[in-house]
Every structure is written in C-alpha cells, then in structure tokens.
Amino acid sequence: MKARANAMELVGGAMVASLVIVAILAHVLAPYDPTRAVANSFGDPWAPSWRFPLGTDELGRDVLSRIIVGARISLEVGVAAMVVTMTIGVAIGLAAGFFGGTVDFVLMRFTDVMLTLPSLLLAMALVSVRGPSLLVILIVIGIVSWTSVARVVRAEALSMSQRDFVMAARALGAPPQRLIVRHVLPNVAPTIIVMAALGTSGTLLLDAALSFLGLGVPPPTPSWGRMIEEATIYFRVAPWLATFPGLAIFYAVLGFNLLGYGVLRRRAR
C-alpha cells in the first residue's frame, strides 16, 4: 500500500506545483500588463520575438503575460469548481451509501437522471440563462459534474458502513453524524483526494470549453479558453495566438491527470 511515489505522480505533482507558483506570482512574472495594449499591433498580431516571446494579439496585448495571468484565473476557477463538485458529490454519495434504503434509492435515481443529461449542453444552457459570472460558472460546473464523484463515494461509504469498526461504534450508541465524520469519512478520504485531482482536470476542461464558447468569466480578465476563441479568426495569419493558450490548458489538465492516475496506480498495487 505504502509504495514509493511513481514517476507519474512526481511529474504530475511537479507540473501542478509549477502551475500554482506561476498563478501565485502571476503579477510579478508577467512582463507586461495583460489587459493593456503594449505593442502597436492593432488588427495585425505580431509573431513571437525577443521582446514578446509568444507574440502579441490583435489588440496589441502581450500573449505571454495574458497566459501567465490566465493561469491564475483558470486555476482559481478550476479548483473552486472542483470544490463545489466534490462538496455536492461527497455529500450525496456519503448520505446514499451510509443511510442506504430509501435515501439511497432516491439519491441514486436522481444521479441516474443527471447522468443522462448532456453535461456541456446543460452547462451552456444554465450559464446563458443566468448570465456568465464567476459564481454562476462555479455553481453550474458543480451541478453538471458531481455525479461520478457521488457514485464512487457511495460505493466506498457503503462498504465502510458494513465494516466491523463502524458496526462496533454504532452498537456503542454513536449517532450517525459522528459515525460519518469520525469513521466513514476518514476512510473514504484517499479516494476523495484522487477524485479531486482528476476532477480538477475535468473542471479545467469544462471551464475552458465554456470560455471558448463565450460563456466564461467576462472580459477583460484573460482566460485561456477565450484567448483561443478570439484567435480562431486569425488561425491562418497568426497561428501562435491559438497555439500557446491551448498548450497552457493542455499542460494544466495533463498535470492533474498524471497526478491523479499516478496516485491511483500506486494504491492499486
């Protein structure tokens, strides 16, 4: 069980750590103001050069600075949306698995219904009817992505609540909330951590997709997804505009995936 950390975990962990550092130091690391025109390249984006390593966009803004500050926004939204997702998923999964019976039946049938709905379409519809704001986006991502978390946590909680030590505590008269918080939750925690890492890659992708569709955090806040969307009409003349923000999303998602699957692999041995 306590095997050495594998290469996947280490690389993934390092990628995530680098991302966190860039996000925290974003305003120190960014060479220019990400929301201001710093080059005289209006309507005619400049290719990468020494002065602007990743080029400038159609409004004369520095792409590198926008990507660096975008890391902060993307990570904030990704992690916060993951927390919302996990909170809903863990609460529903724990309740269903621990209490069983009617509670389990009702919650799981609700999960079945939610699983049937197309998540991106539902997210788009909800964001567009409520208007894109940070809070709406976080809640909507949570609403459409908690189902798989709930299913996994339910299965774990179900098997935990049948174990001898939980039975013993129950027999000694411990109330349900104590049983859940003191006995079931700590034993489900490793699973929750893995799901959180993998969940973040999911929320990052969903947030990027919403931004790409024009339903992300409103401008002028730099967002990786919207940078790609704005770059699509320049894909012939300025391919770097779409390339670099996409690489940033790819890097972030891959980092969380490597970390999550790495931990999963070690625990499976």
Partner 1 sequence: MFAYLIRRIFFGAFVLLGTSLITFAIAFMVPADPAVAMAGAKADPHTLATIRHQLHLDEPLYVQYGEYVDRALHGDLGRSYIRRESVTRLILSRFPATALLAISAMALSLMLGIAMGLVATAYRGSFIDNTQLVASLAMVSMPVFWLGTMLLIAASAFTRSIPLGGLAGWKSLILPTITLALGSAGYYSRILHTNLSDAMAQEYVRTAIGKGLSRSRAMVKHAMANALLPLITLAGLDLAGLLSGVVLTETVFNWPGIGRLAYEAIFSLDIPLIMGTVLFSAFLIVIANLVVDLMYAYFDPRIRLEEMG
Nearer to partner 1, 63 or 208 (CB): 208
Q: How far apart are CA 225 and CA 127, in angstroms?
A: 16
Residue 196 contacts residue 263 (beta carbons within 8 Å): no
By CB under 8 A, residue 32 contacts partner 1: no
Q: Write the DSSP symbol of residue 180.
A: I
Calculate helix-pair angle for 101-116, 147-161, nearest 10 degrees: 160
Q: How many residues does the chain have?
A: 269
Q: Please, which of residues 114-153 interact with partner 1 by CB under 8 A?
A: 114, 116-118, 120-122, 124-126, 128-130
Distance of closest approach, residue 190 Cβ to partner 1, in angstroms = 20
Decide whether 45 or 166 has the Cβ nearer to partner 1: 45
**Angle, CA of 261, 263 and 269, to the nearest 5°:** 100
Task: Tell me the two tokens of residue 39.
Answer: 């080059």
Binding string, residues 44-73; x marks residues near partner 1 by CB under 8 A: ------------------------------
Minimum distance between the CB of residue 39 and partner 1, rounded to whole angstroms?
Answer: 22
For 37, left (φ over 0), alpha (ψ -120 to 50), or beta?
beta
Which one, 103 or 169, has the nearer CB to partner 1? 103
Q: Is the Cα dihedral 111, 87, 139, 66 positive or negative?
A: negative
Which residues of the shown chain bind partner 1 in the complex (CB under 8 A)?
8, 109-110, 112-114, 116-118, 120-122, 124-126, 128-130, 201, 205, 208-209, 212-214, 225, 228-229, 231-232, 235-236, 239, 242-243, 245-246, 249-250, 253-254, 257-258, 261
